Structure 1
């Protein structure tokens, strides 16, 4: 597996100290990588800037650029099995997620944005100025810094990379230090596809590497997915330097089970919506609002279903839930379980690490709390692990207020047999995405992003084209 950095078409070890990537299913060292220094980041950014103005990329016709993206998509699809297995070993997600969702979604995004390359247009508009022709052009920004998270490393990278390249930008990618390997493998495939040197650069490392990329004066845009705390720092830095910025941050998604909902029918969607990738999903359903008269029934059925899920190595086809990504995430989940019990919530299932054969890995049992109050920390703070909370409500008129009583606004779910009720709540809930009677769904054509502390800007769809371009006005005298 590739562990070097890609800078200007050359694979290099970089000048910083070594760090390890662990297999979260076993705790064993999977690979050793190098921390990019400020000098390495500068070299990558300058390589991207040279590529941006080069005839090999900057002068490439749109149809040719689209062809390169399609070639990358074909190669990723051709190597999908190996890339998915690498993602599972490095991140922990079961093969059903990596091979069935993450890699296919990345391929879909590459093909979708390849289709946009030849359709990025400006407008003409009538002005109240005589003898003038007016039009606009959408032009690429330049060098874009893409900082990606550890929960879906490959997929979320492509959400950023595909539109950035479709618009004609060049990029420097900084993957999460816990999960860099699928990014480096994709960089190999990008080279094989014939994308010119310097168009895509990858630097590895932790927070200091990311700071160097954010602060570099030649970087015109930062796209970041990660925690709200880090997003605030990046947003402030980009504000000072007047860089464009997109931030997809944390979440604490409510799932509203209306009084008329079919609990049995909604159970599977809520279980999967809360525990996909072991709960390491920004849009995971983690706050379940259930009519007080049916709270116990729902909580017990949810806990019973969660207790049947099989923990194991993601490479095992029998595994339902893989490990958390690191020991730190296990400790965080355990800490919040202790907090929930101290606050008086009722622990129905889970709440600890498994023993025996799984003890060496970063596993945590799927956990369900019942009788949770709105003011409890487990109902308000992002845990990013397999910890679900069930909250009873008395008055349906308070549902939107309860769902919105959070700093976050990334996503929400609503379950109701009454389409009017469901859509009224969808209007009232402050979230970037609302799913009605379904678990999370994603598509390259559907805008994605958060409100409030869940971020700024949108990815996917036409909105991503807007995010990676700027508009130029062109005036022409006709006399």
Structure 2
């Protein structure tokens, strides 16, 4: 297979990424080194921001009507639709997520672009406001150059979603993909060029943390949308705070799943296992802790472990695989260290015994231990099962530690389960299910607690990229 060259895109031109940290991109299924990593230079970061600033200032993109921008996004959507299989394969190699899942993500990228364009056209850039003197208008104005900091677990889906809504809103952007998953962003930039989106509107820089730090520290970057780890989010917030750059940060959360007394354990175990193992355990809203009546704790833990045993674990490139490897060696090593810490704390560790001997595979694990668990997020195919005596104790435990993103409640009485869900500190709470997708086309979700700043939901994402400006004739004869 041919892998995209790790270019830096500035002003519509692909340049060499001249620097290297000496690392390689690997096949997570085997551990085989594939190609050396490449990094943009600090000079290139500055020039990419300058190009985005120039494109913002001369209004070459935001000066188009929302309908015209939507038309260009539709051309880009068509271009990506023709490359679904290539994108899916690259994402499966970059993330360890099974190709059956990355095909779904890649297949939805075009729809994401079209939807963003439709939403922006429906809202419009300018609308008249009621005023007795007339001539008062609300303008939606992009903040300025916007940095899009991308995660490694869903490479193309996150690159396309952030880019689609930013461009639909009229913003100029600089993408910075994870150094572990840079390939699908390269294809996206090729598509941007092919779709006739003006030069300078979309840039791309490559590299690890140092490049990201340089990008978000640039005073010309007026907004930052980032999905990733909590430590990285805190660093970005600290860097951007002095200039009051706008922030949207989706960070980590140890999401709790509460199993009520009337829940059917068999179907609950199946649903929780589905949630834990999606994306090879690597998605930010996965259930990370189960809280269940203490008398049923051990029974449920074994049912959950049996569900793990039933799943097909193998290469992320195999269509039959349900659970692939984690994305890179350090991710596997951190999960192993977390499992060992839980064992030292007294947890009974139940883990799948049959995993491939090579590559970055981590045995799907159930750790049985009462209490809140680890302080930091667990990001992989591992879950804690603990007991509670009553639901007040369950709520106290569920809302302890790093929380705020998602939550789950299981029970036969769905109205009662939903009432319990309103007590969780979480932006989204699902009853009797663990799907990745939103429950409603109008879903909106804020990031509570330490899980970030802002939120997601398509209207919220579109709004993030613009400020609101009122321009009009002042009211005559006002007393003050």
CA contact (8 A) 1:5 1:204 kept: yes
What's the counterpart of residue 111 of structure 1? Answer: 114
Q: Does the aligned pair in 1 maintain the 2:286–2:434 contact within 8 Å?
A: no
Residue 367 of structure 1 corresponds to: 365
- 1:99-127 deviations in Å (ceiling 9; x for gaps): 02x22343332121110221234565567
The 2-side partners of 1:42 and 1:359 are apart by 44
**1:420 aligned residue:** 415
Q: Show the 5 A alignment for 1:4-403.
A: 4-17=7-20, 19-54=23-58, 56-100=60-104, 102-121=105-124, 131=133, 133-350=135-352, 354=355, 358-370=356-368, 372-377=369-374, 380-403=375-398
Q: Which runs of 5+ in 1 are unaligned?
A: none
Summarize deviations over 1:276-329 as a string: whole Å, max 9, x none.
122111111110111122222211110011122222111112212111111111
Deviations 1:414-446 (A, max 9, x none): 111112311211211110111111113324753
Alignment partner of 2:425: what SS?
coil
Aligned pairs, number: 469
Q: Is the 8 A contact 1:258 1:291 kept in 2?
A: yes
* Superposition deviation, residue 478 in structure 1: 6.7
Determine the C-alpha separation between the residues in 2 that align with 1:239 and 1:353: 48
Corresponding residue to 1:463 among 460, 465, 474:
460
Cα distance in 2, alignment partners of residues 5 and 49 from structure 1: 17
Task: Report runs of 4+ in structure 1 exceeding 4 Å deviation.
Answer: 121-127, 130-133
Please report how far the alpha carbon of residue 131 of structure 1 lies from its aligned counterpart in structure 2 after TM superposition. Answer: 4.8
Matches of 1:125 and 1:63 in 2, distance apart? 21
Give the Cα separation in 1 of the matches to 2:107 and 2:371.
38
When structure 1 is superposed on structure 2, of 409-418 and 26-35 the one drifting more is: 26-35
Scaled by the length of structure 1, the TM-score of the pair is 0.93
- Distance in 1 (CA, whole Å) between partners of 2:457 and 2:154 is 16
- Mean CA deviation greater in 135-144 or 240-249: 135-144
The 8 Å contact of residues 96 and 280 in structure 2, kept in 1 or not, is answered as no
Q: Does the residue aligned with 2:422 lie in a helix, a strand or coil?
A: helix
User: Is the 8 Å Cα contact of residues 20 and 32 (structure 1) preserved in structure 2?
Assistant: yes
Q: In the alignment, is the contact (CA less than 8 A) between 1:132 and 1:477 conserved in 2? A: no
- Matches of 2:325 and 2:221, distance apart in 1: 36
TM-score, L = length of structure 2: 0.93
Matches of 1:165 and 1:39, distance apart in 2? 25
Q: Distance in 2 between matches of 1:384 and 1:227?
A: 10
RMSD across aligned positions (CA): 2.0
CA distance in 1, matches of 2:44, 2:283: 31
The 8 Å contact of residues 353 and 364 in structure 1, kept in 2 or not, is answered as no
Separation (CA, whole Å) in 2 of partners of 1:29 and 1:349: 28
Deviation of 1:132 (Å): 6.8
| Structure 2: tracts of 5 or more residues without a match | none
Which whole-Å CA distance do the structure 2 matches of 1:390 and 1:326 have between them? 26
